[in-house]
Amino acid sequence: MILKNQILERPDKKPIVWDAYFNRDDKPKTLVIFSHGYKGFKDWGTWNLVANEFSARQYFFVKFNFSHNGGTVENPIDFPDLQAFAENNYTKEIDDLDAILNYLLNPNFTYANQIDNSNVILIGHSRGGGISIIKTAEDPRITKLITWASICDFGKRSATTGDLEAWRNNGVKYVLNGRTKQQMPHNFQFYENYIKHKERLDIQSAIKKIKQPILIIHAKDDPSVSFSEAEELLAYNPKNNLVAIENSNHVFGSSHPWEKDTLPKALTKVLEESLHFID
């Protein structure tokens, strides 16, 4: 069963658009929640195929758009709402993930009988990995964490760094989206939010606190987020495992749009390792 483009309305906040993939039967299933990365969205590239694979293995798989990722309820693909994108920040994304989690684990959720509340897995790609690390450190409901090509430090990111004086004076700075050719705006509030919540947003500190099992997966040749960041994550919490993916990139051989009905070899390996870890 696929629930597509569902809308989670919230008072005084932007709605969250989400999908669920699962086999509807009489068995409660482990809940897996996937968080996309920077300049990402739930329907990017191979993510629908990934969702199908988890569903086929009897998981309740949910993916969603962060509320300020630049998509809209009417068009959740790509970035038609750059004004919302400009007002995004890290704590909004953590709040979004919390809202999705609360909604799905609520006993009044329509499909509550399909979810095993005692088994909740977070998977985060790239920046979504960092968000998922923070959330796992803060929320005992989460039982396992998987990061795919995760960042290890919000302070290092291009969205957070740069010419601060010019950014402050202009109130906004732009980062080119290489695929869509859009100039993606970041209002100065992004930096202010990071500084205000710097202690909470310290990934190193957060991952050190995590008691739940963690699987770190990263491509050795990732050109966007260096493999050394995965090694740092492991160093912060060395009882966990790091899987290195050979001959791949930041999205494990995927691209957008993805026209094939099979996953690229590298992402298949990522999926196999993730499923083995959850099982």
Q: Which of 191, 203, 125 is nearest to 160 (CA)?
A: 191
Mean pLDDT by 10 residues, the chain (279 residues): 99 98 98 98 99 99 99 98 98 99 99 99 99 99 99 86 90 95 97 97 98 99 98 98 98 98 99 98
What does the pLDDT read at residue 159?
67
CA angle centred on 55, ends 51 and 61, rounded to 5° = 60
What does the pLDDT read at residue 161?
73
Residue pair 267/254 in contact (Cβ under 8 Å)? The answer is: yes
Residue 184: CB atoms within 10 Å: 19
Q: Which of 208, 193, 203, 215 is nearest to 270 (CA)?
A: 215
CA angle centred on 39, ends 177 and 221, rounded to 5° = 85
3-state SS of the chain: helix, strand, coil percent to 5?
35, 25, 40
Question: Which tokens in the block code for residue 196?
Answer: 């205000």
Query: For the purposes of burial, counting CB atoms within 10 Å of the CB of 228, is it exposed (0-12), middle (13-18) or buried (19 or more)?
Result: exposed
The Cα 157–Cα 89 span in angstroms is: 12
Structural domains of the chain in order of their starting residue, each with its CATH number:
2-154+199-278 (3.40.50.1820)
